[in-house]
Amino acid sequence: MSQQNKMLSTAISLSARKFEGVMDRGGQPYILHKIRVMNAMPEDDFELRQIAVMHDVVEDTDVTFNDLIKMGFSARVVDALVLLTHMPQDSYELYVHEIKKNPDARQVKKADIEDNSKVSRLKGVSEKDIKRMVKYNRAYLYLMDKMSEYEYLNNVEK
């Protein structure tokens, strides 16, 4: 087994342990979302798949970036995870703006938004869900270069 293949196994295991028992808004195990995002990445890019399956492990658990470095994850993986970790002091728009600068973080975030935008994952659709979908749609358009930086950061509607 290659080192990167081994690290992918470690990433999947870590994410599964840290999100054990956590359910998504639709009542399904949250790890399934992370696996879907990982499976949206190219099969031969083990580091990108590591990033995808751990895309919110630092944000939502007690795992730190230092822990990931000690575990042997590469700078490429950790650097992308730093960008994918939404810090409370940053607006969502600034967070997405920074993600866009890194191709790996950008690709993972697009897959994350695509999966999170599936209404079929929800038990029902509330006003709050609709607002979240609008926020995700704007971020997705920006990440896909279908909305300018000015329009995105200044919340301009076309």
Inside any domain, residue 142: yes
pLDDT in tens, 105-133: 999 999 999 998 876 666 667 788 788 88
Structure confidence at residue 157 (pLDDT): 65
Please give the pLDDT value at position 121: 66
Average pLDDT, the chain: 92
CATH number (domain holding residue 67): 1.10.3210.10
Q: Is residue 12 part of a domain?
A: yes
- The whole domain housing 66 covers 3-153
Task: Report the predicted TM-score, pTM, of the whole model to 2 decimal places.
Answer: 0.90
Q: Does 158 reside within a domain?
A: no
The total domain count for the chain is 1
Q: Which of 28, 41, 26, 24 is nearest to 12 (CA)?
A: 41
| 46 — pLDDT class (breaks 50, 70, 90) | very high
Is 21 a domain residue? yes
Q: How high is the pLDDT of residue 24?
A: 87
Burial zone of 19 (CB within 10 Å; 0-12 exposed, 13-18 middle, 19+ buried): buried
